[in-house]
Chains A and B, each alone.
Chain A
């Protein structure tokens, strides 16, 4: 059981098939949280409820993400998501999956995009649990194509 941070290989294929639209207001994407018991990594293809977090203020399937329309800097294209918070929550999570709930041209609604490793259990107790995405630039953005 381990969470290995990665861009999902299936996502790379789907991207080439035009099945993901990251523009603001386009595809509805979500982030789901997982416990340290989860096995996630580059071979993860879909959101799954197995070993998903259960806790106060956390709804199965995770939280909606707000996309920032992709732009470029130099020769690198990148996109970003707004930070997401589970308020007044009691949560213990070790990692997360970003996934697309409406794959364009595809049949699924759970296609995984990326697996995130938090580096250790992160715990909120009757408090806020916030994921802050990295700076939206060509060197740091969460999703980049160089």
Chain B
């Protein structure tokens, strides 16, 4: 039960923006699918194909989630009388 002296976690930061759908999807798929270096080549190939399909699907749904969140924020701002801000959010 020890940790290596070199960093074991990855830290990802952004400046002036949030993480993109692509960045989050990449992180997500790496948490979902692990392919052992020792895996049989055919198993590895199938797993990587599966990984690609999952990644593509994740991007679609994450994009929808982001759009849904923007719609919610748009309506919150609209209901608060902040029409200009609401439009800015809608146009993101």
**Interface positions of A (Cβ within 8 A of B):** 4-7, 12, 83, 85, 87-88, 91, 93, 96, 114, 116-119, 122-137, 142-146
Asked if A130 and B30 make an inter-chain contact with CB atoms under 8 angstroms apart, the answer reads no
Question: DSSP majority for the A interface?
Answer: strand
Task: Pick from B1-9, B39-47, B71-79 the stretch touching chain A.
Answer: B1-9
- Given A88-B18, A130-B19, A135-B34, residue A118 in contact with residue B9 (CB < 8 A): yes
* List of B residues within 8 angstroms of A118 by Cβ: 7, 9, 11
Give B contacts to A, CB under 8 Å.
1-19, 27, 30-31, 34
Q: Which 10 residue pairs of A and B lie closest in terms of their CB atoms, listed nearest first?
A: A127-B14, A125-B15, A124-B13, A119-B7, A122-B11, A132-B10, A130-B12, A127-B15, A128-B19, A128-B14
Give 28 CB contacts A-B under 8 Å: A5-B3, A5-B4, A6-B3, A7-B1, A12-B1, A93-B11, A114-B3, A118-B11, A122-B11, A127-B14, A127-B15, A127-B17, A128-B12, A128-B13, A128-B18, A129-B11, A129-B13, A130-B12, A130-B19, A130-B27, A131-B11, A135-B30, A135-B31, A136-B34, A137-B34, A142-B8, A143-B1, A144-B1
How far, in whole Å, are A12 and B2 apart by their CA atoms in the complex? 10
Within the assembled complex, what's the spacing in Å between the Cα atoms of A20 and B57? 37
Set of chain B residues within 8 Å of A93, measured between Cβ atoms: 11
Looking across the interface, which residue of chain B has its beta carbon closest to that of A33? Answer: B11
Q: In the bound complex, how far is the Cα of B18 from the Cα of A142, in angstroms?
A: 26
Cβ contacts under 8 Å, B4 to chain A: 5
Q: Are A130 and B3 in contact (CB under 8 A)?
A: no
Q: How far is the CA of A133 from the CA of B9 in the complex (A)?
A: 5
Shortest Cβ distance from A125 into B: residue: B15
